[in-house]
Amino acid sequence: MSYTQAEIEALVRQVVNRVMGDKDSSQIAAGKRPLLTADQINQLPASTTFAVPPNALVTPLARQAALERHIRLEEGSTQPAPTTGKPAIAVGADHGGYTLKESLKKMLATTHPDHEVVDCGTHSTDSVDYPDFAYAVAQLVGTGRAWRGIIIDGAGIGSCMAANKVPGVLAAMCYDQATAVNSREHNNANVLTLGAGLIGPNLAQQIVQTWLAADFGGDRHARRVDKIWAIEKRFNK
């Protein structure tokens, strides 16, 4: 007998319910509390960090799978997560990049309807700290939950620095279409940072579209990018 994914999840929930308290059991059964299973962990890139959704229940088998695949489970995160099966584009900004972020979200909804746009904040022009939002975007990309990431602050420099501290991320600050192409073809960048105080909305849209469309060149560039990853691995043993 074969089971559908939904049936398997229901069986797992029933088992978990038997070892949980009444309150938690009712939340799990009703689907109000996310359930993280071993199958989901096995789909993540090895040797990465995964931000566990808020209030999620991590099954023992999921924890074992994470241990075996050297995946660190970061619990208590408030980051948004992709909700559809579409490839995700994570976007984030501080107060200086908020307005540009909102305009880019509208553009992406039109130009990339086959992708899900995940907004990591901020959600107003109130003063905030750019590293918080750079980290939120970079985490989704670094853990494989987002296909690409776009971060906007005043100059784009600080967010680029912050994003590049996250394992699995190659962030590039771009200020024209040439740097956008180069960062993808030569460097295989998976996070783009922009300076809202340096470029206007029209140029920003051109950069984003160019960057998302450009492919990695591979060949000699792949050898050089591999050396970048090797540097990261020296400090993540």
Give the CB-side neighbour count of residue 47, counting CA atoms within 13 A: 9
Domain ranges of the chain: 5-74, 88-220
| Residue 135 confidence (pLDDT) | 94
The predicted model scores a pTM of 0.69
Please report the pLDDT score of residue 234 as a whole number. 87
* Segments of 37-185 assigned E as strands: 49-51, 57-58, 72-74, 88-93, 116-119, 148-153, 171-173
Residue 156 neighbours by CB distance under 10 Å: 26
> Is residue 36 helix, strand or coil?
strand
CATH 3.30.70.260, domain 88-220, yes or no:
no
- Report DSSP state, residue 100: H
β-pair partners for 173: 193
**Cβ-contact 153, 93 below 8 angstroms:** yes
Distance CA 56, CA 63 (A): 13
Tens-level pLDDT at each residue, the chain (237 residues): 565 656 655 565 555 555 444 444 444 444 456 778 888 888 877 777 777 766 677 887 888 888 888 887 776 555 666 777 789 999 999 999 999 999 999 999 999 999 999 999 999 999 999 999 999 999 999 988 999 999 999 999 999 999 999 999 999 999 999 999 999 999 999 999 999 999 999 999 999 999 999 999 988 999 999 999 999 888 876
CB neighbours of residue 17 within 10 Å: 16
What's the rounded Cα separation, in Å, for the pair 215 and 236?
Answer: 28
Peptide bond into 122 cis (omega under 30): yes
The encoded tokens of residue 192 equal 């783009």
pLDDT of residue 191: 98
φ, ψ at 213 (rounded to 5°): -85, -20
Q: Is 70 a catalytic residue?
A: no
Please give the pLDDT value at position 36. Answer: 81
Q: How far is CA 174 from CA 138, 156, 206, 229, in A?
A: 16, 8, 11, 21
At 51 the three-state DSSP class reads strand
Catalytic residue among 95, 115, 123, 186: 186
